[in-house]
Chains A and B, each alone.
Chain A
Amino acid sequence: MGDSPDSAAITVEGLWKIFGSRAQKVLDSEDRHLEPAALREKTGCTAAVRNVSFAVRPGEVFVVMGLSGSGKSTLVRCLTRLIEPTAGEIRIGGEDIGRASPARLREIRRHQVSMVFQHFGLLPHRKVIDNVAYGLEIQGTPKAARHARAAEILSLVGLDGYADAYPDQLSGGMQQRVGLARALAVDPQVMLFDEPFSALDPLIRRDMQAEVIRLHREVGKTMVFITHDLSEALKLGERIAIMRAGSIVQLGTAEELVGAPADDYVADFVRDVPRSHVLTLRWISRAPEPGEPLDGPEIAAGTVIKDAIAVASASSRPIKVVDDGELVGVVDRVDLLTFLSGQDIAVKAGA
């Protein structure tokens, strides 16, 4: 991963969560290696998160993806012990969450980590402004101060003028903006999103994704974002972890997942992604053949393939792919066409 744990915003080491009365016993036995279905059959316990480790860099958007039931929600709730993990170590900002006392844990939840939920979790008996100010209220912030802060956040998420409405008077998208504002109001360092947009219709979902990208640019929080929508993951995530049956099967950039899926499950997941939108020239560049002209246009190796097409159509010379001014290979029109036609399944492994 390349990060030393100290510089990371969140590190998770060997995290397990097993639901059921005999969780600890299962964890200590060999049963823990069983497939979830077999485990449930044998012991009645469900292993929702199995030996998961990863690190999230400060300011990064880290996406966790997986099918329904793969343990995403459980994983993200274990981070602040909304669900008590069965085993493993979690550090947020260097602090060991597992050892935090209940009071300390509340402090962390109040000031450092906040969460946005799939079904919003708004309080219907409170006005929008009081929903947004809820986190501050339970910290004991005086009313005037918390309302001022809430109003500020409301305009940040584009809900000016709705302060005195009640949640059920808003559309789903606007309700989730309130959820977002509530999480932002306490000014946390880390924000957790559990499928925040799954309950919204596609157009609104796109707006909200843009909103999150904008907010991330403006406020620069570390974000852990759960989704089961691949296009959402690709749009938002710097790195993506793919979960299956409680384990992370692959962790990497979108490019790595699409270019080099670790197994069939991941390959299946990314099959419908237009690869030319994700992969860069690095994946298809090749060593120049002897006698091939090297006077064509130069493009950086990190350029997405789709963007190289325009260049290739303007010039018939092979494109020179450069990294830091150094030539790493060439790509000509035939290469591009072969790739686009989908013939070229075997892209170069690794990056």
Chain B
Amino acid sequence: MSTTTAVGTPSRLGLPKWAAPAGVAVVFVAAYLVFRGTGTLPHDKEAPQFLAVTDLREWIDDHRNDNPLFLYFLNYIRLFVGALYDLFQTVLHALGWPGITGVMGALAWLAGGWRIGLLAVAGVSAFGFLGLWQHSVDTLALVAVAVLLSLAIGIPIGVWAGLSGRVRRAVTPVLDVMQIMPTFAYLAPLALFFHIGAPAGAIATMIYSIPPAIRITALAISGVSPTAVEASSSLGATRWQTLFKVYLPLARSTMALAINQTIMMALSMVVIANLISAPGLGEEIIRGLSRAQVGIMLPAGVAIVIMAVMLDRMMMAIARRGPHTKPSKIDLVGAGVLGAGGLVLIPVLPGEWPESWTVNVVAEVNDAVLWAETTWYPVTTFIKDFTTYALLNPLEGLLTSAPWWLVALAVLAVAWRVSGVRPALIALGCLLAIALLGTWEHAMQTMTTVAVAVLATLVIGLLLGVAAARSPRFSAVQRPLLDAAQTMPAFVYLLPALALFETTRFTAIFASIIYAVPPVVRLVEDGIKAVPAEVVEAATSAGSTPGQLLWKVQLPMARRAILLAANQGIVMTLAMVVVGGLVGAGALGYDVVLGFSQRTDFGLGFVAGIATVLLGVMLDRITQGADRRPSPRKRMST
């Protein structure tokens, strides 16, 4: 940190600024050497707290139909969501592929013109073409239910938060925590309360996708021009009239973004929800992941990506539309014909996509992957082994053999230095809770993986971000790729990782790097570009070389953006590393997966899920100073 300060301020003793941190580091190393191997907390699969949770689940499963909480409350929710899912599924199946194609095409046409309409038609056809019609329809129904419920709950809360600062202050911390919770962590508690299957999956998806619905709606509402609102009340409008005639119409295009984000989150979760037996494309993907067969996963992954792109383009078209543009006559007629055509064809054509029109690529893909694995074996093995032996193993050895109190002290010191007292105490609390839960060793292993992945992510992200900031041409090439990458559901990144590295610890690292690099690149690029042009000009006219300009001006001034990028990178990496439990990442992620596949290990999985949340909050708090602490620029100018 201290090296980024543009003007070094010598401390009182005349020592250089790095002396204090270096001294602390030396003390820690010495303490480690002295106390190594003592105070460790080895993993115990049979720890009483795990068994207790497993027993609780057994008890709940036995009493699901006679305990009042379940009988009169939770079961009703499950039944309601289940009925909603059945309804959607029935309707979609009744529409069949001609109906769905026609209706989706028509809606897309109305949303964004014939191109988007065509995209939707092609997209829906692709589901059938890939031989995944049934699964895709199930996923669509599940997503529809989850998104609908998310919006039904999220939009009113968001509107309320947008109107009242007090509500906003109450909701924000909850949303903050929800957004750093990895997908996995939601599953076990939901399985506990709502059993497994489509309803539980829909509820998990709904909970996961609700934060953007609330947050962006609140943003949209609070961004509505206060004069328009005042003008409305000055004419004697009631609060409801102002809400419906002023706030909601003016917030419309931002709220379309909220819906879009909600859909994208739902699409990430809906796949993982297959771990608690939610139907749909997730079945194929999880099956492919667990057998390490890219051939099974790839079509399903492609189908999910197509679904994401299709819905994203539709919602973005709505969001981008001017405040008062209406679809033209031609669009109305075209969309009408397409929709009606689809509906008319329902009785004529078979509802299921015809078997003969599908392609089956499982074998070919598996062969191609095998070829890639063998051809690139030397390269991939070198990368894998290098990271494993040079980084992962030493760091993991360090973290697991150090006494727990030393690690806790180190976390406290770093968090304090970077983010301040309060976040540091919260981080410490999380770490102690992890120790108490009995997941210390696995948490340390997961943290090792996260640390290595974050390191790589930051190095790559900084390089690409700096390159993009300095070369407009490079940036122009890279932007669309980043945009595309950010609309893809998270686990899609496991596919290439699995294809290249099979199931190892490194697979998860690779996946999380490609998952987290795009936002990091973007933040770094924007941060550097935000350095005022006069400052760059002044430095250049003083004779700085491009390198000096970068190191002495641009990077220090973009410090906040870079720290924010680190924070984002860490949160995203953790989410992915945990999902990597499915493909050999081990530790907490594997515990969670195990909890779903083995009834006797449910408790372990449940507690591991809680531990990942605690780990996420801890890592977030450690790096959160990015937002709060004044940058050196500010400190100097005050």
- Find the A residue at minimum CB distance from B246: A123
A114/B241 contact (C-beta < 8 A), A121-B228, A123-B249, A125-B324 known:
no
Residue tally, chain A, CB below 8 Å to B: 33
Alpha-carbon separation in the docked complex, A111 to B236 (Å): 8
- Interface pair A117/B250, CB less than 8 Å apart: no
A139/B231 contact (C-beta < 8 A), A125-B250, A125-B252 known:
no
Query: What is the distance, in angstroms, from B337's C-beta to the closest C-beta of chain A?
Result: 29
- Interface pair A120/B227, CB less than 8 Å apart: yes
Alpha-carbon separation in the docked complex, A113 to B323 (Å): 30
Enumerate A104-145 residues with CB–CB distance to B below 8 Å: 105-111, 114-115, 117-127, 134-135, 137-139
- Find the B residue at minimum CB distance from A188: B235
- Interface pair A106/B225, CB less than 8 Å apart: no
- Interface pair B228/A123, CB less than 8 Å apart: yes
- Interface pair A138/B227, CB less than 8 Å apart: no
Enumerate A36-85 residues with CB–CB distance to B below 8 Å: 77, 80, 82
A138/B234 contact (C-beta < 8 A), A117-B227, A120-B227, A121-B228 known:
no
- Find the A residue at minimum CB distance from B253: A125
Tell me if A154 is interfacial: C-beta within 8 Å of chain B: no
Enumerate A172-210 residues with CB–CB distance to B below 8 Å: 179, 182, 186
Query: What is the distance, in angstroms, from B164's C-beta to the closest C-beta of chain A?
Result: 16
- Interface pair B228/A122, CB less than 8 Å apart: yes
Q: Which of B234, B249, B252 contacts A115 (CB 8 A)?
A: B234
- Interface pair A109/B235, CB less than 8 Å apart: yes
Query: What is the distance, in angstroms, from A101's C-beta to the closest C-beta of chain B?
Result: 13
- Find the B residue at minimum CB distance from A165: B324
- Find the A residue at minimum CB distance from B238: A106
Tell me if B237 is interfacial: C-beta within 8 Å of chain A: yes
Alpha-carbon separation in the docked complex, A124 to B236 (Å): 19
Alpha-carbon separation in the docked complex, A194 to B228 (Å): 14
Alpha-carbon separation in the docked complex, A82 to B232 (Å): 11
Chain B residues near A121 (CB-CB < 8 A):
225, 227-228, 230-232
Chain A residues near B290 (CB-CB < 8 A):
none
Enumerate B125-151 residues with CB–CB distance to A below 8 Å: none
A109/B236 contact (C-beta < 8 A), A123-B246, A124-B323 known:
yes
Tell me if A166 is interfacial: C-beta within 8 Å of chain B: yes
Alpha-carbon separation in the docked complex, A125 to B324 (Å): 6
Tell me if B245 is interfacial: C-beta within 8 Å of chain A: yes
Tell me if B233 is interfacial: C-beta within 8 Å of chain A: yes
Alpha-carbon separation in the docked complex, A115 to B227 (Å): 11
- Find the A residue at minimum CB distance from B226: A121
- Interface pair B245/A134, CB less than 8 Å apart: yes
Chain B residues near A168 (CB-CB < 8 A):
323
Chain A residues near B323 (CB-CB < 8 A):
124-125, 166, 168
Alpha-carbon separation in the docked complex, A41 to B236 (Å): 36
Query: What is the distance, in angstroms, from B191's C-beta to the closest C-beta of chain A?
Result: 45
Chain B residues near A108 (CB-CB < 8 A):
236
Alpha-carbon separation in the docked complex, A120 to B231 (Å): 8
Alpha-carbon separation in the docked complex, A166 to B324 (Å): 8
- Interface pair A135/B236, CB less than 8 Å apart: yes
Alpha-carbon separation in the docked complex, A108 to B233 (Å): 11
Q: Which of A114, A119, A126 contacts B235 (CB 8 A)?
A: A114
Query: What is the distance, in angstroms, from A77's C-beta to the closest C-beta of chain B?
Result: 8
Alpha-carbon separation in the docked complex, A158 to B160 (Å): 40
- Interface pair B245/A115, CB less than 8 Å apart: no
- Interface pair B235/A182, CB less than 8 Å apart: yes
- Interface pair B234/A123, CB less than 8 Å apart: no
Chain A residues near B235 (CB-CB < 8 A):
109-110, 114, 134-135, 138, 182, 186
> B210-250, CB under 8 A of A: which get 1 and which 0?
00000000000000010110111111111001000110011
Chain A residues near B236 (CB-CB < 8 A):
105-111, 135, 138-139
Query: What is the distance, in angstroms, from A189's C-beta to the closest C-beta of chain B?
Result: 14
Alpha-carbon separation in the docked complex, A77 to B226 (Å): 14
Alpha-carbon separation in the docked complex, A80 to B230 (Å): 12
Chain B residues near A114 (CB-CB < 8 A):
234-235
Chain A residues near B227 (CB-CB < 8 A):
117-121
Alpha-carbon separation in the docked complex, A80 to B236 (Å): 10
Alpha-carbon separation in the docked complex, A107 to B238 (Å): 10
Chain A residues near B252 (CB-CB < 8 A):
125
Query: What is the distance, in angstroms, from A196's C-beta to the closest C-beta of chain B?
Result: 12
Chain A residues near B230 (CB-CB < 8 A):
77, 82, 117, 121
Query: What is the distance, in angstroms, from A256's C-beta to the closest C-beta of chain B?
Result: 31
Alpha-carbon separation in the docked complex, A119 to B250 (Å): 16
Alpha-carbon separation in the docked complex, A335 to B472 (Å): 74
Pick the most buried of A80, A121, A122, A168: most chain B CB atoms within 10 A of its CB: A121
- Find the A residue at minimum CB distance from B241: A138
Chain B residues near A119 (CB-CB < 8 A):
225, 227
Pick the most buried of A108, A118, A134: most chain B CB atoms within 10 A of its CB: A134
Alpha-carbon separation in the docked complex, A166 to B249 (Å): 14
- Interface pair B232/A134, CB less than 8 Å apart: yes
Query: What is the distance, in angstroms, from A134's C-beta to the closest C-beta of chain B?
Result: 6
Chain B residues near A125 (CB-CB < 8 A):
249-250, 252, 323-324
Chain B residues near A179 (CB-CB < 8 A):
231
- Interface pair A123/B250, CB less than 8 Å apart: yes
Query: What is the distance, in angstroms, from B487's C-beta to the closest C-beta of chain A?
Result: 28
Chain A residues near B225 (CB-CB < 8 A):
119, 121
Alpha-carbon separation in the docked complex, A134 to B241 (Å): 11
- Interface pair A109/B234, CB less than 8 Å apart: yes
Considering the complex of A and B, which 10 residue pairs feature the smallest CB-CB distances, nearest first? A121-B231, A110-B236, A109-B236, A121-B227, A135-B235, A106-B236, A115-B234, A125-B249, A138-B237, A125-B323
User: Can you report 16 A-B residue pairs in the complex whose CB atoms are below 8 A from each other?
Assistant: A82-B230, A109-B236, A117-B231, A118-B227, A121-B228, A122-B228, A123-B228, A126-B324, A127-B324, A134-B232, A134-B245, A137-B245, A138-B236, A166-B323, A168-B323, A182-B231
Residues of B bordering A, CB below 8 Å: 225, 227-228, 230-238, 241, 245-246, 249-250, 252, 323-324
Q: Other CB < 8 Å A-B pairs besides A105-B236, A117-B230, A138-B245, 10 of them?
A: A80-B234, A82-B230, A121-B227, A123-B232, A123-B245, A123-B250, A125-B252, A138-B232, A138-B237, A168-B323
